[in-house]
Amino acid sequence: MEPVKIGLLGLGTVGGGTVTVLTRNAAEIARRAGREIRIARAAAMQYNPEIHGLDQIGLIGNDAFAVVEDPEIDIVIELIGGYSPARELVLKAIANGKHVVTANKALIARHGNEIFAAAREQGVVVAFEAAVAGGVPIIKALREGLAANHIEWIAGIINGTGNFILTEMRDKGRDFADVLAEAQALGYAEADPTFDVEGIDAAHKLTILGSLAFGIPLQFEKTFTEGISRIQAQDVAYAAELGYRIKHLGIARRSGHGIELRVHPTLIPHRRLIANVDGVMNAVLVKGDAVGPTLYYGAGAGALPTASAVVADVLDVARVLTSDPGNRVPHLAFQHDEIADIPVLPMAEVETAYYLRIAALDQPGVMAEIAGILGSEGISIEAIKQKEPEEGDTHVPLIMLSHRVREGRMNRAIARIEALNTVKGEVMRIRMETLAG
């Protein structure tokens, strides 16, 4: 049987890892696929000539569009990243009848609906396992392994940079800015870390997971996003005293009113398995009605872990090259004419519990005034701790844990508390989830 011919776009970290895995494990991959898989052509503006296996690529150039126009290419692997020209290249490859494998979560989250529609029309596959959680096979688990389940919720640590920062803050009592600088020095964070620390990268991934879990269109613009840059070392320490750990979670939940899609710092009980996922590792917790809670853990980034997912997708596509397009696993798990227009809830309608840190004047009646505001908004308090003030400070840190309440009510209460003359600065609010199975 003729080998499957690959056109590879991008020879950076993941591209180089993909070449390494495809060439180093070529015999094993051929045994699984039933035919040889060969990189016939690659395009990159620059690359490391020491990448293992480069000498086995048929042709390396810098014209990515020439690769997607090559009639000999069966599968295009897009590892350029970003929105453009990745979108144009993928759509052109599809129009030319080529299958596509991509690790580009931003592209899928923003333009996936358009791309999948084009792929259905042409009868080709677009595979994107590496777009979420690197080498962790969470997309395959949702599309196939958990297909019998009514998915109730997903909670994931899906950005390793943010998890590394919060782990260092907890374990060593360090400040956010200090750990961020180290993350940049180690290569975990970019020079501009906005996508990682402000939750945009995680929101791209959560958008994809939400669509796979609930059969809704990709709607990145409706995903609530909040970063970790306001988290202080004292918040991490206070959470620990109360039996919690702070993680930057992506949460997708089905409720009676619609779908929640939200990325934000979250207090989790310290005994939960996902609360003990540290460093740059990723983990996704999925609750299905039949299977219960299942946890998927592993490396969320890096050359070889991500290449593992890319090559697994290539292998899957190679297996179905001769199969009936109508009988393949749907791109977003549900048949395209069964995608449901369930509303994504605005954050003000989401219900959760809260951690609040308030800098309040240390005098009689202040606590009662704050409690009165919370009570008038229907917010009940589970626990209160008053910490010692710093030397010379007239305000004390007041730590509160609330029961579950709608975010809109909490927003109104926080605005009223911040307006008090006895309260200094902004109220620090971190959402809480028990993630109970």
Q: Which residues belong to the active site?
A: 205
| CA of residue 425 relative to chain centroid, distance | 31
Least Cα distance to 256 among 375, 378, 350, 191 occurs for 350
Q: What is the sign of the dihedral through the CA atoms of 67, 15, 282 and 178?
A: negative
Q: Residue 172: CB partners within 8 Å, gap ≥ 6?
A: none
Q: Tokens 């179905």 — which residue?
A: 320
What is the residue type of 362?
D
Helix axes 160-172, 176-185, angle to 10 degrees: 130
How many other β-carbons are positioned within 10 Å of the β-carbon of residue 392? 5
CA 417 from chain center: how many Å?
33
Q: Is 397 left (phi over 0), alpha (psi -120 to 50) or beta?
A: beta
Alpha-carbon span 144 to 12, nearest angstrom: 30
- The answer to whether the CB of 160 falls within 8 A of the CB of 154 is no
Tokens 């999925």 — which residue?
286
DSSP string across 383-418: EEEEPPPPTT-SEEEEEEEE--EEHHHHHHHHHHHH
